[in-house]
Amino acid sequence: MTRVGDLMTEEVLWFPPKMPLLRAAQALSQRQVGAAPVCLPDGRVVGVLSKSDLLDRFGEDPEGRVVADAMTPVVLSMRPDSQIEEAIREMVFEGVHHLMVLDEIGRLRGVLSATDILRHLSGFPRRDDRVIAVAPPEDHSHKPR
């Protein structure tokens, strides 16, 4: 049986809560990702910043605002050992395209996206060489420690 940890992306873009919102928006756009976890320095996830969050809040003068002002504080998550069918049900039921993958104390281990699942179901291998990624000024493309 396929588990969430088998399909998740481990090296993910993440944001600290106090990062300027404009820089976070630029990073999501440059990396062409729809959402990124918001993490404390110890790796615990405290929210998710998505393109939808930005669309909902960006008109409210983004200058001087930080990620914590726009993030969704509810984190939909799975554990790496969860069955992929459980993750699919959660994504469909909640109408989301990303699930954070957390360890037993809420630290980030990766992100599972709908694209990860579709790639697996279609039999296409992950092709990291096709991902367009440009590092933001402060690179948060690794798991926080």
Strand residues in the chain grouped as ranges (E):
35-39, 45-50, 77-78, 98-102, 108-113
Q: What is the DSSP string of 8-35?
A: SBSS---B-TTSBHHHHHHHHHHHT-SE
Domains of the chain by residue range: 4-126
Comparing 66 with 129, the larger pLDDT belongs to: 66
Summarised one tens digit per residue, pLDDT across range 96-135 is: 888 999 999 989 999 999 989 999 988 877 655 444 333 4
Q: Report the range of poorest mean pLDDT among 10-14, 39-43, 94-98, 131-135.
A: 131-135
For the cut 60, the answer to whether the pLDDT of residue 137 exceeds it is: no
Query: What is the structure's pLDDT at 145?
Result: 54
**Rg of the chain (C-alpha set):** 15
CB 111 within 8 A of CB 98: yes
Q: Which fold has domain 4-126?
A: CBS-domain (3.10.580)
Residue 68 has pLDDT above 90, yes or no: yes
Name residue 70's amino acid.
A
pTM for the structure as a whole: 0.78
Nearest to 111 by CA among 51, 67, 45: 45
Average pLDDT over residues 54-62: 71
Q: What's the whole-number mean pLDDT along residues 1-17?
A: 93
